[in-house]
Copies of this chain bind each other. A is one copy, B any other.
Amino acid sequence: MPPVGALLRRSLRTPLVFGSSTDVGKTIVTTLLCRAATARWGHERISYLKPVSTGSLDDADARHIIRYAPRVMAQTLYQYDSPKSPHSAARESEQLIPTDQELLAKIHHVADLSKTPGWLFIETAGGVHSPVPSGTTQADMYTPLRSPVILVGDSKLGGISQTISAFESLHLRGYDVASIALFRDDVYRNFEYLVDYFGEKYNIPVRTLATVPERELNDQLEQQNMQTYYKEQSQAVDVVNILERFDTCHRHRISDLEQMANRAHKHIWYPFTQQKHLSSDQINVIDSAHGDYFQMLHQSPEPGNLLQPSFDGSASWWTQGLGHANPKLTMAAAYASGRYGHVMFAGSIHEPALSLAENLLNNMHNPRFSRVFFSDNGSTGCEVAVKMALRAARTRYGWNSHAKLGILGLKGSYHGDTIGAMDCSEPGIFNEKVEWYEGKGYWFDYPTVKCTNGRWIVDVPETLKADLGEGKEYESPAKILDVDGREQAHEARRYEAYIEKVLKMLSRRGQKFGALMMEPIILGAGGMIFVDPLFQRALVHVVRRSAHLFGNSSGGSWRESIDWNGLPVVFDEVFSGLYRLGQYTSASFLGTHPDISVHAKLLTGGLIPLCTTLASESIFNAFSSDDKSDALLHGHSYTAHPVGCQVALESLNEMRQLDANGAWNAFKNRGWGECTTGGVQIWSVWSSEFVVHVSRQVTHVESIWALGSVLAITLKSGGSAGYKSTAAQELQSRMRQGSVDGSWSVNSRVLGNVFYIMASQTTTESTVTGIERLILKALSMG
């Protein structure tokens, strides 16, 4: 089933009528609006939809509409006899309970039938959070539609509170409330308060409607009274104003969306973008996002939908973990905002920061770690890590503060965009033109892991073959990742010998190093390179036993200890950690523990920036001094901001729950093979059959790999390899074209000739399968 997106058509206004509590007169308001619409837009099609209705059919809201607004097309999707909340009534009935997606799809289907301009009033049931048949609350269920709301306020005693709370539940789910309608009650006069409240705080008009006539026992009299009421009141200024405003907002919303790309083109300076090549029609206009999908402006012929669900295939630059607009993360953010705002962190402590620090330290299972330093993003977190490592090395080896210290790293590494983080990487496309960039260090070449023409191999670059021998095929990716098993089979020996040879050469040259810094197994920005983890492990081992090659310290003898040895080992897990590759840490793939590690992106589940740099006590102690200025001189204004920490806590706990509850079991054990390295399970949301199948498309595909939620395809590019290649862009643009029926598409990013795509931690199997099919189709068109 294709994803269900937002509802937005040029000529069809679709007000979603919510009640601030039950029995506030939603149906009467809707009837008034239907009649007013009929009068004002007489030539258009006015429809009414009750998606879910409970109680006797005689009292059903659609019947009321048919009776009092006879020119309106009225329809109910699901009718349950029991006069209870829909989730109870549905369970008592013998009907199949529709899923939320089915319900939303049916609403879209009704809208599809409106080929002519018009209005479709969608009336909800009960209060904003009354549950729908599936048990989801209405406010959560209708979120993806993004239909603007007409909220019927509560005019009774206590109604001020109900109206505000109901509004807040909608607002924090990203609903736009266009107007609030309230019956006039001259005793409580809630409208007086609410007009000011919503006007001042939200610029939302509160419209007052005439009191409904008292109920009559005599049916005929009752109907007469209501007919008169509707006839008179549907012409009332406040009623007509609700529609006029809705219509205006609807047109503005569309014209705003249509102008956004041009306005952005004029005033936004985009990150990592050559804007000379960016025309405004290439800018994705995002109305909203929900779950795995952006709701993107999409030029659809009348009367088609103007927004298309587009799979967020870069997981919003690798941050997305629990779906866009996840209400749990929203509530966590709102709670911390309401409790603290921000709290200056130097010398202070607050609960979210402390809990997050302890939570990370506990779950990393790294006996070295004892300290957490907070910053704002992976780049700043890597600068913090480098400051930590260099100081530790410098003080232990007794170098003076002007010693030129470098980083030992890997070719193709990338640690961020600030100058200090850039300086940790070798010169390349991402940094060499930046004026103050000055790569400091030595970067190893290494064997890589890939699936090519149906075979999983460790590939050795030509330049290393003399030292490391030829590459090798393995029966499964798990066998490659089984670093314990491979070490026992002595596969690490040549790696270690080679690494030692290089370190000795560097030592002879007199180069000084302050850290070994790597992204474990996957180098992300460098082009989604899958490094042989055994090589990385060998690097760590050799560096730790080679203090004699780095400094003249007597503390250089190799022993397994939680103190750092040789050089501080820094793992940049910003991209690779926190379940992105299926394991809580990517260090676990290497079966080794860093002295410092950096975590961001998924840390906050794809909501707001936050980064943590974890370190061991022996690193921390390097800054201990009687001199204040020997402290780690780093700290941003919003360091450890409570909102970010609370969201991170929620996000980490939620992901650990998913893991513990077996949420990913459907993806596991699908041909990835077994790994005997302690605690490591190799799996991916992308099926191994699919990966092997794609690897056989040898006309276009150079190689492919998948791990955790990431899939990366290196395309053959006929000579122009690297960042400037266009083969991956062609695949990207085919994915952007989307499904045959145009009902959804895939938004992705490329890195040179590498097309990659990644899921969140909550993407379903059927979504993944749909994307796999789309990729195969796009490749076969190549």
Contacts and interface: CB of A to CB of B under 8 A. Distances in A.
A397 to B, nearest CB: 12
Interface stretch (A283-291, A695-703, A712-720): A283-291
A708 to B, nearest CB: 17
A85 B271 contact: no
A463 interface: no
A333 B631 CA distance: 34
A317 B344 contact: yes
Contact of A431 (B162, B330, B633): B633
Given A390-B435, A607-B643, A256 B337 contact: no
Interface string A19-34: 0011100000000000
Interface stretch (A113-121, A374-382, A531-539, A771-779): A374-382
Contacts of A336: 174
Given A168-B168, A342-B324, A636-B378, A160 B337 contact: no
Contact of A337 (B386, B436, B607): B607
21 contacts: A21-B158, A22-B161, A84-B187, A85-B190, A129-B161, A174-B338, A174-B340, A260-B354, A267-B357, A269-B373, A272-B635, A289-B341, A316-B343, A324-B343, A329-B341, A341-B606, A380-B417, A386-B436, A405-B436, A419-B423, A433-B630
A77 interface: no
A431 B431 CA distance: 23
B337 A434 contact: no
Given A263-B358, A335-B172, A351-B260, A340 B314 contact: no
A21 B166 CA distance: 11
A399 to B, nearest CB: 9
Interface string A425-456: 00001111111100010000000000000000
Interface stretch (A63-71, A620-628, A678-686, A738-746): A620-628
Interface in A252-285: 256, 260-261, 263-264, 266-278, 282-285
Given A269-B620, A432-B401, A433-B629, A330 B324 contact: no
Interface string A460-486: 000000000000000000000000000
Count of chain copies: 2
B269 A130 contact: no
A615 interface: yes
Contact of A270 (B131, B345, B351): B345
A193 interface: yes
B349 A286 contact: yes
Contact of A22 (B138, B158, B440, B623): B158
Interface string A324-365: 111111110111111111111111111101100110010000
